[in-house]
Structure 1
Amino acid sequence: MLDAMLPVILLLILLYVGYTLVYKTDEPKKERKIHEDTQEVKEKHVEKPKKHVAKRKNPVETTAPKKQIQAEHPLLVHVLKGHTSAITACAFSPNGRFIATASTDRTVRLTLRESLKSKNPTFKTINLPYDYATACSFSSDGKTLGVVTADGCKVSLYSKFKTKPECITTFPVEHNVLSLLLNDIGEEWMTTLTIGKDDNTEIKCWNTSGHLLQTVNVNQIQNYHGVQSLDNRFIAVAAYTPEVKIFEIQRAKDGSFSKLNKAMGLQGHTSGVTDIAFDGSDFKPVNHIVTSSKDGSIRVWDINVRYKLQEDPKCIKQFQAPSGYYSTVDITPDGKWIAMTQGSALYFLKVATMQICCEIQNAQDDDITRIQFDATGIEIFVQGTTSRIIKVYHLPIE
């Protein structure tokens, strides 16, 4: 019986040993596999520390916006710089050599025009200690510069611009001056005219020694601007009332001053006249005068009339502003172009058609207070209310 069961027992023992060997060998592998799987699961659920990366800044936020530079107008030919405070007056010399600028920085600068194209223009400086100039003007020969000071109410005349400007005379004028005019027939018979400011509507005539020759009251409530014709013949005043009074300087046979006499009046505007200008030059007789008014109109007048026979000047051209009115005006010596301003804008009007042919917005830093063509009528300066610079533009010749 035992012998019959022995093979079976041996078979069972072999199976058990085989099973044991296989199971014991596999078990570490399975445990290692389970351990690795468990560790992998743990690693997936544990967040890795984030690497610190500097955030890229937005260039729009961190970079200052570039300043937009406005392109200068193609007609701009010169910009006169150098004053450290507001410019109060400016004038072209009739001989074309200089531009005079006066400022509240207590200086008057005489800039040589032929040097304006260089990087460092040539200029002469007149210092005014404890005072500043409110008006300046050249004589018609361009050899003398007249300056009016604010606090002292004095007129000073300067000459010798080639070397160092020299003061040849100074005298008090006893009133606040709006406009200064130098009417000269040779150096000996020069007459200085001061036109009262605001409600002082007097015109005073002086010789170069400071002797008062005559006083004429315009009687127009308030003066806005006074000008003279470049042929030394007429004086005109723009004022609060619609009428423009034109005076003539009469002289004796030897050229000395005789009398300032009213020659004619311009009637037709319905409101105050803001500015006036004569055409003509020292070699071209004056024929016309242009006026701008608060009624919005620009008018061209023929003043080549027999005023001594009581003939009245005639309005021959008229232009109406689309809105508002023009504060300053000037006309070229040949009478073909008119320049006028409204705010900081400069306009060029062709007299033949009385149409605006060119418009320059922002021709100055702020509201324009004075414009003036040079003796050739090719260039015009533009003065602002508080600007420290003078801009010079070229006529838009077609």
Structure 2
Amino acid sequence: MESVWYDFLTNNVLVFTVLIGLSVLIIMYVIKLFKEEEVRENMKSDKLTVYPEKKKDQSQGGKRKKKIAESRWTGKHDKYVYSHPWILTSLKGHTGKVLDMDFSSNGKFLASCDDAGAVFLWDTKDLALKDRKSLRVNIEFDHATSVKWSPDSKAFIISKFNENAVEVYKVDKKKDGWLTASKAFTFPKHHETDVISMDIAPNGKFIMSCSNKTDLVVWDLKGQKLAVLDTYLMNNTRAKISPCGKFIVVSGFSPDAKVWEVIFNKSGEFQDVKPIKELTLSGHTSGVYDVAFDVDSSHMATVSKDGTWHMYDTKVSYKLGENARLLKSGEYEKSGNTALIALSPNAEVLAIATSNNVALYSTWTTELDYKIENVYEDTITAIMFDSTGKYLLTAGDKQIRVFHNVTGYKCDIATAKEKLKENVTSATKERLLSLIKENQNFLDNIDHK
């Protein structure tokens, strides 16, 4: 009897267990169906937010900052719409914040770099074109903070963010006439802290790199050190090579921007780097943020933490003891903790970028002519004039914006009117009147856009 009762209980327990298991599975299946239906309804009503998977940071040095990663992947600037009557075009394609840009010496190409690890080469023979060719060059496991064209336009060089090193890329032409680029070699590492400036001499004789401390290196084109300098500025803010290829100008914590001459002998062999005290750019009362040049290095300009800008006459006989002369000074509206400066090729227009605005000054009057506001959501990272002086370029967010240099047209009219007061030939008078008319027609069209 006990055996029969035991068998009955065992069989029923198994049956109950199976029934309970089936019930649980059915309940879970029903819940899953309800959840899937809820998701579909949410997607239909746009209530569901899908967050894209963030890409992993592949930087080797671990130096990449959080704000860089945010600007790259969140699409912060993608919806920012900008328009201005002076704007000619915008160069779009970067997926990260544009940090630097440079024109090739032949004026056909513009190179730009971003914090997403790309360098773009743009066809800029005609800046008015809306659709233009571009080539994206990826920087492996790093990104470029500076980019410069070689004087022959057959290569570009970058300074790498994580490695603090200079790298060279060779540029060739494909059969269809467009460009291709490949890494050639990397310079040996010297700087232990951030490289804030890198440049190549227009004569092709040397390359310069400068850290945010006080060290500056002069290299040959093969990556051999020619000289290592201590700027004694406590910290460097900017270093640039002059368009004549002879001078390196460095700004920093000091109220003076210092100048060095890089000397080669007649056979082209490097000899020395010497400080030129006569060309020291003095007159500010606080640190200098940035320096700029006109087309032939006869004028240099500085912008300072003290809220002023200066322009100097540097076409002097410094070897005979003649000092650079302060020609013009003006004030600018400070915003943020830095400022960028650019000087037009003819030295008649000076542009200063602070935060996301650009102020344009006439160096004739030293007065503010116009302020282009809110160019980007974030700060402007670079400004420059093209070789003709007709356009002002700004870099920031994920775009390069190209503006008409309207202030330059106004200055050309003022210059021409002053020359008409002189005793000029009839041919010169006719040319000046024609220039005034053409520039005024341009200004009238811009005003009515």
What is the TM-score with the length of structure 2 in the denominator? Answer: 0.67
Q: Provide the residue aligned with 1:278 in structure 2.
A: 293
- Deviates most, 311-320 or 258-267: 258-267
AA in 1 matched with 2:400? I
Q: Provide the residue aligned with 1:51 in structure 2.
A: none
Task: Give the superposition deviation at 1:305.
Answer: 1.6
* Secondary structure class of the residue paired with 2:364: coil
* Secondary structure class of the residue paired with 1:241: coil
Q: How many residues align?
A: 320
Q: Provide the residue aligned with 2:113 in structure 1.
A: 102
Unaligned runs of 5+ in 2: 1-78, 174-178, 411-449
Do structure 1's residue 381 and structure 2's residue 397 form an aligned pair?
A: no
Equivalent-residue separation in structure 1 for 2:104 and 2:236 (angstroms): 24
Q: Provide the residue aligned with 1:328 in structure 2.
A: 340
Task: Give the superposition deviation at 1:161.
Answer: 4.6
* Secondary structure class of the residue paired with 2:319: helix
Q: Provide the residue aligned with 1:25 in structure 2.
A: none
Preserved CA contact (<8 Å) 1:178 1:225: yes
Identify the match of residue 151 of structure 1 among 162, 167, 181. 162
Task: Give the superposition deviation at 1:118.
Answer: 4.5
Q: Provide the residue aligned with 2:41 in structure 1.
A: none
Do structure 1's residue 165 and structure 2's residue 181 form an aligned pair?
A: yes
* CA distance 1:309–1:362, shift in 2 (3 Å): same
Identify the match of residue 131 of structure 1 among 124, 142, 145. 142
Which is richer in helix?
2
- Deviates most, 87-96 or 230-239: 87-96
AA in 2 matched with 1:272? G
- Deviates most, 160-169 or 349-358: 160-169
CA RMSD for the aligned pairs? 2.1
* CA distance 1:222–1:167, shift in 2 (3 Å): same
Equivalent-residue separation in structure 1 for 2:80 and 2:393 (angstroms): 22
Residue deviations 1:100-151, cap 9 Å, x none?
1111221111011136544542112211111111111123443331111122
Equivalent-residue separation in structure 1 for 2:80 and 2:319 (angstroms): 57
Equivalent-residue separation in structure 1 for 2:297 and 2:119 (angstroms): 30
* CA distance 1:395–1:171, shift in 2 (3 Å): same
* Secondary structure class of the residue paired with 1:126: strand
Q: Provide the residue aligned with 2:203 in structure 1.
A: 185
Do structure 1's residue 391 and structure 2's residue 398 form an aligned pair?
A: no
Do structure 1's residue 207 and structure 2's residue 217 form an aligned pair?
A: no
Task: Give the superposition deviation at 1:259.
Answer: 1.7
Q: Provide the residue aligned with 2:261 in structure 1.
A: 248
AA in 1 matched with 2:274? N
- Deviates most, 314-323 or 295-304: 314-323
Equivalent-residue separation in structure 2 for 1:244 and 1:105 (angstroms): 32
Equivalent-residue separation in structure 2 for 1:287 and 1:184 (angstroms): 15
Equivalent-residue separation in structure 1 for 2:153 and 2:377 (angstroms): 29
Unaligned runs of 5+ in 1: 1-67
Task: Give the superposition deviation at 1:238.
Answer: 1.5
Q: Provide the residue aligned with 1:30 in structure 2.
A: none
Task: Give the superposition deviation at 1:314.
Answer: 1.4
Preserved CA contact (<8 Å) 2:289 2:339: yes
Larger Rg: 1
Equivalent-residue separation in structure 2 for 1:359 and 1:152 (angstroms): 38
Equivalent-residue separation in structure 2 for 1:132 and 1:258 (angstroms): 34
Equivalent-residue separation in structure 2 for 1:380 and 1:217 (angstroms): 34
Higher relative contact order (CA closer than 8 Å, sequence separation 6+): 1
Percentage of pairs with the same residue: 28
Q: Provide the residue aligned with 2:280 in structure 1.
A: 265
Residue deviations 1:265-305, cap 9 Å, x none?
1221000011110112xxxx321101111111111111112
Task: Give the superposition deviation at 1:165.
Answer: 1.5
Q: Provide the residue aligned with 1:48 in structure 2.
A: none
Matches within 5 A, 1:1-398: 72-114=83-125, 117-162=128-173, 163-175=179-191, 176-185=194-203, 190-196=205-211, 198=212, 200-263=213-276, 264-280=279-295, 285-321=296-332, 327-384=339-396, 387-396=397-406, 397-398=409-410
Which is richer in strand?
1
Preserved CA contact (<8 Å) 1:185 1:255: no
Residue deviations 1:202-253, cap 9 Å, x none?
1101112211110011110111111122121221112111011011111111
